[in-house]
Amino acid sequence: MIDLKRKQRIILMHLDGKSNREIATQLHMSKDTINKYVHNYDDAKSKLLKLNPNQDPKEIIQEIVEKPKYDISSRKPYKVTDAIIELIDDCIQLNSEKRITGRSKQVMLKKDIYQYIREKGYNLSYSTIKRLINTQEKRHYEAFIKQAYKPGEICEFDWGTVKLNINDTGFQPYQMAVFTPAFDNYRFALLFKSQDTAAFQEAHAEFFAHCKGCYKTMVYDNMRVAVKKFVGFNEKEPTVALTQLSLYYGFKFRFCNIARGNEKGHVERSVEYVRRKVFSKPETDCFDSLADANRYLLKECIRLNSEKISDGSIPINGFEEEHKYLSPELPKFESCIYSENRVDKYATVVIKQNHYSVPDIYVGKIVRAKLYTSKLVIYYENTRIAMHKRAFGFNDWTINIYHYLRTLKRKPGALHQSVALLQADKRLKNMFEQYYINEPKVFLKVLEIIKEKGIEAVENAIKQLEIISPFDLSFDKIKLICEKTEEDRLLKPGTDNVTRKSEQVLLLYDRLTLNNSSNDKENTLCS
């Protein structure tokens, strides 16, 4: 193949007066090829010299200096047969069916089709197969229509996953909810542990509170928290959660077509942009709590929104302009997953495959539960009976030991190996193991004081008893000390006074106990 450099050598040797045969011999080329380029050069130069003053010489000059071209449009692969074309068509059709039915990750790539054809016994090169596939698919580049948006009109929403190390639990995936108004590319993001209904609704409530108003239309892809089911190929039925948000805030919504992320391109880019700009730097992916991570994320979003973007605008300026076009601000929407559950024999309710305890008097009863992004609140007949930190595992048990005091009084032997004790406050477990491991009944009574007065008050009472009465840590003495301490707490006495008063209380308690014992003996003798 002749390149521009070899073409130049041919022309220069021709201009030096060498014959075409001599040039062909020296360059080891065909005489016909030399004749072709010399003839084209002479013809173009002759046309250039004969130009009229009004003619443009650019095309002739280009013909002289351009790189040699070869017309290969009429070439065809000589090994390609109708059977091979049919096999490729079948693979393309199968890929199309898989994309329509939601199996886009299982389509055959070009290299897979190449391997499939080789396995059928056809010996073609990979480059040939690629050209045939491109020809058969008849692919064309898609044209996009630039849109013009009005302020306060459209806002897009999407989820993204971020891996963070929170509270030294190792790197785990967290769900990042991202909002981007189409008018100004302002970005707002929040982190959640799970991508569920409660998080979906809370993200919207927080965003609209941040905006101090609501956009007229929200745009979503086919996420499961927004789309309940497909009705036909293009129609989608919204979830109850999205319908509730729409009714409360008064916004319209629309969904993208399948596999058309460009229809909400603002937020598609925002997810990647925020994740990279906020969490890619050293030491920006470790936090003490999820609340700390969200505070950092908000601060960084404000910083990013104050910087110029690719079109030269500053998002926060456009965002401030949009305020007057937003719907009026409303109180925050209550974001939770509501359910009714029957309390099982373990005095727990099962919500999202996890167990949560309630007081044991409600076994068998129907209770109402509100599952928020970070907590669970349980009601019975409009009275709150339990509140727990939300669990995100599978078949986790969240138990409050105070919910089982009534049952444990009847079955004190069950206390030692109970999940309730294992999950209790570490100080409470230490108290049981150090002082009451052989007296579970007494400990259950002490638990009642702890429930009423707090564990610190009981710990202080035990410390005083260890000084004045180390061999008797009974329920009655602890209760007396706690009550006396509570009476005197406003007087702020010194430690010595507290100890002295505690001793006086215990002396009174011992005297009363002794008198009761003497009276019992006298009554026995008289009888």
Determine the CATH number of domain 154-325: 3.30.420.10
- pLDDT score for 295: 95
User: Please, which contacts does 70-74 make with residues 24 or more away whose CB atoms are closer than 8 Å?
Assistant: 70/1
What tokens does 9 get?
């050598």
Neighbouring C-alpha atoms within 13 Å toward the C-beta of 383: 6
Is it the case that residue 294 has pLDDT exceeding 50?
yes
* Residue 144 confidence class, pLDDT cut points 50, 70, 90: low
* Residue 145 confidence class, pLDDT cut points 50, 70, 90: low
Any residues with CB less than 8 A from the CB of 345 and at least 6 apart, and which? 363
Q: How far apart are CA 522 and CA 520, in angstroms?
A: 6
Over residues 7-23, mean pLDDT: 87
* Residue 479 confidence class, pLDDT cut points 50, 70, 90: confident
- pLDDT score for 403: 93
pTM of this prediction exceeds 0.75: no
Question: Could you give the angle at the alpha carbon of 327 between the alpha carbons of 325 and 328, nearest 5°?
Answer: 115
Any residues with CB less than 8 A from the CB of 275 and at least 6 apart, and which? 160, 162, 176
Q: Over the stretch 329-370, which tens digit does the pLDDT of each residue have?
A: 889 898 899 999 999 999 999 999 999 999 999 999 999 999
Residue 176 β-bridge partners:
160, 191
- pLDDT score for 197: 92
* Residue 73 confidence class, pLDDT cut points 50, 70, 90: low
Phi, psi of 455 (to 5 degrees): -70, -30
Domain boundaries, the chain: 4-65, 82-137, 154-325, 337-398, 408-518
Angle between helices 290-305 and 265-279 (to 10 degrees): 110
Q: Which helix (H) or strand (E) holds 35?
A: helix 31-49
Q: How far apart are CA 451 and CA 435, in angstroms?
A: 18
Highest mean pLDDT among 59-73, 264-278, 305-319: 305-319
Q: Which top CATH class is 4-65?
A: mainly alpha
Q: Over the stretch 33-71, which tens digit does the pLDDT of each residue have?
A: 889 888 888 887 787 677 666 656 665 566 666 777 766
The full length of the chain comes to: 527
- pLDDT: which is higher, 294 or 490: 294
The 8-class DSSP code of residue 183 comes to T
Over residues 81-96, mean pLDDT: 87
CB 30 within 8 A of CB 6: no
Listed residue (210, 188, 356, 344) closest to 274, CA to CA: 188
Could you give the 3-state DSSP secondary structure of residue 240? helix
Neighbouring C-alpha atoms within 13 Å toward the C-beta of 355: 15
Any residues with CB less than 8 A from the CB of 267 and at least 6 apart, and which? 156, 157, 158, 178, 179, 180, 219
Q: Is the fold of 4-65 the same as that of 154-325?
A: no
Strands (E), 297-357: 337-342, 348-351, 354-357
Is it the case that residue 502 has pLDDT exceeding 50?
yes
- pLDDT score for 55: 58
Task: Give residue 266's identity as a one-letter amino acid code.
Answer: H
- pLDDT score for 495: 46
pLDDT-above-70 percentage for the chain: 82
The DSSP-derived string for 357-419 is: E--GGGTT-EEEEEE-SSEEEEEETTEEEEEEEPP-SSS-EE--GGGGHHHHHH-GGGGTT-H
Q: Over the stretch 199-215, which tens digit does the pLDDT of each residue have?
A: 999 999 999 999 999 99
Is it the case that residue 193 has pLDDT exceeding 90?
yes
- pLDDT: which is higher, 265 or 41: 41
Strands 227-231 and 286-287: unpaired
Q: Which helix (H) or strand (E) holds 154?
A: strand 154-166
- pLDDT score for 398: 94
- pLDDT: which is higher, 63 or 300: 300
Tell me the average pLDDT of the chain.
83
Q: Over the stretch 390-428, which tens digit does the pLDDT of each residue have?
A: 998 889 999 999 999 999 989 988 888 899 889 888 888
What tokens does 35 get?
């004749």
